[in-house]
Structure 1
Amino acid sequence: MMRVLWDSTIGKKTVMAVSGLMMLAFLVAHMVGNLKIFFGPGEFNHYARWLRTIGEPVMHYEWTLWVLRAGLVLAVVAHAVSAYQLSRRDIKARPTQYVHKKAAASFATRTMRWGGVILGLFIVWHILDLTTGTVHPDGYQHLHPYQNVIDTFSTWYGNVIYIIAMLALGLHVRHGLWAAAQTLGAGTATRNRVLKPLANGVALVLTAGFVIVPVAVMTGVVS
């Protein structure tokens, strides 16, 4: 049954929708956590330590965090694999090239695939920069995320990479949230009048909420 569902187009779209909503929930929580940087290093660093103690004493140190990370990785992989397979299926279904009218799709729709590639590469860089410290521009300090964030956004390339990725994220969420609603049957003529501005609003809030951090570091508001 599960195999049949996965092999179907609607099954893959459902996996994309559900995994996308899981990632969206993470992004909202991550954005809110990032904004704690405006309350100073003490609160921001304390937040990083708190993430590692969620569930104690039932869960050991960092266990809950690793469970959340594993779930997020599964969601990202499921989303990417579904997107790739649907793309290949779409190409095979239409072997001859044809020209789309520009009005047939929004900018976000036309750049959805490239946006996914950009975000995939960004995730790798982001982990290597602020989680493992492998490519961090200065001396990486474990459990001192405030200073690590300052270091990253004190470099021109750190800002460029992050801001471009967040703009791609906004476009991806704008289209993805709308598409997920249609796939899961939430879209109707009446609801669509609300879903479209909702998708636009969520994408705008997320983009602004993430971009404001490097901008604050660049302008000296956070230092």
Structure 2
Amino acid sequence: MARTMWDSTVGKKTVMAVSGLIMLAYLVVHLYGNLKIFFGPREIDDYAVWLRYVGAPFMHHEWVLWLTRIVLVAAVVAHAVTAYQLSRRDIKARPSKYVHKRPRSSYATRTMRWGGVILGLFVVWHILDLTTGTVHSGGFQDLHPYENVVDTFSTWYGNVIYIVAMLALGLHIRHGVWSAAQTLGVSSRAWDRALKISANVFALLLTAGFISIPVGVMTGLVS
């Protein structure tokens, strides 16, 4: 039964929708934590330390953090694999070009594929920059995200990489939320307009929230 569901297009779309919602929930929490940077070094640095001990003493040091990472990695892999498989199925189903041009789709729809690639590359860079410090521009300090973030966004390339990725994220979310609602049967003719508006507003707020951080560093609000 599970194998049949996985092999079906509906099953793959469901996996893609659920994994996308898991990542979306993580992004909301991640943004909440990141915005603490506007309250000063102590606020966000203490938050970074707390993440290592959340769940204690019931859970061991960093266990909740690592469980979250494992779930997130599983969601990313499932999302990427199903996206690739569905894309290949779509291409095989339409091997020749259309004689007549199809109606023009939204910009977000037409850029979902390359947007996903950009986000994938960004995640790798982001981890190497602010989690492991491997490609960090300054003197990386573990459990001191305030100083590390200021270092990164004090460089022109750090700002460009981050802002471009967040714009791609916004377009991805805008289309993804709407697609997930359709796949999971939440959308209907009566709710379509409200869902589209909600997806647009949500994507805009999330994008603006993430971009506010490099802008805050560039303007001196965070320094």
Q: Would the TM-score normalized by the shorter structure come out above 0.5? A: yes
* SS of residue in 2 equivalent to 1:190: coil
Distance, in Å, in 2 between the alignment partners of 1:102 and 1:90 is 15
Paired with 2:73 and 2:100, the residues of 1 have a C-alpha distance of 34
Q: 1:99 to 1:19 in 2, by over 3 A?
A: farther
Amino acid at match of 2:198: L
Distance 1:44 1:168 in 2: 26
Q: Which residue matches 2:158?
A: 158
Deviation at 1:73, TM superposition (A): 0.3
Write the mapping of 1:16-165 to structure 2, written as runs, cut at 5 A: 16-98=16-98, 101=101, 103-165=103-165
Structure 1, gaps ≥5 residues long: none
Deviation at 1:203, TM superposition (A): 0.2
In the comparison of the two structures, how many residue pairs are matched? 223
Q: CA deviation at 1:139?
A: 1.0
Give, as a single letter, the amino acid of the residue that structure 2 aligns with 1:41.
Answer: P
Q: Distance in 2 between matches of 1:80 and 1:100?
A: 31
Decide whether aligned partners of structure 1 residues 187 and 163 sit closer, same or farther in structure 2, where only a CA change above 3 A counts: same
Q: For 1:74, give the aligned amino acid.
A: A
Determine the C-alpha separation between the residues in 1 that align with 2:99 and 2:83.
Answer: 22
- Structure 2 Cα separation of the partners of residues 188 and 198 of structure 1: 14
Q: Deviations over 1:132-160 (max 9, x none)?
A: 00000011100001000000000000000
Task: Work out the CA distance in 2 between the residues paired with 1:136 and 1:9.
Answer: 41
Change (3 A) 1:150 1:116: same
CA distance in 2, matches of 1:71, 1:136: 26
Unaligned runs of 5+ in 2: none
TM-score, normalised by the number of residues in structure 2 = 0.98
TM-superposition CA deviations, 1:202-222 (whole Å, max 9, x none): 100000000000000011010
- For 1:68, the aligned partner's letter is T
The Cα shift of 1:98 comes to 2.9
* 1:97 CA drift (Å): 1.9
2:7 counterpart of 1:7: yes
Tell whether 2:174 aligns with 1:171.
Answer: no
> Counterpart of 2:190 in 1: which secondary structure?
helix
Q: CA separation of 1:84/1:141 partners in 2, compared to 1, >3 Å: closer, same or farther?
A: same
Q: Distance in 2 between matches of 1:149 and 1:118?
A: 21
Distance in 2 of aligned mates of 1:54 and 1:102: 51
Overall identity of the aligned pairs, in %: 72
Q: Deviations over 1:26-62 (max 9, x none)?
A: 0011111111000000011000011111100011111
Q: 1:34 to 1:102 in 2, by over 3 A?
A: farther
Work out the CA distance in 2 between the residues paired with 1:143 and 1:33: 13
Distance 1:163 1:99, change over 3 A: farther
User: Matched residues in 2 for 1:81 and 1:102: separation?
Assistant: 27
Q: Shift in Å at residue 25 of structure 1?
A: 0.3
Q: What amino acid maps onto 2:176 in structure 1?
A: G
**Per-residue deviation, 1:193:** 1.6
RMSD, aligned CA: 1.1
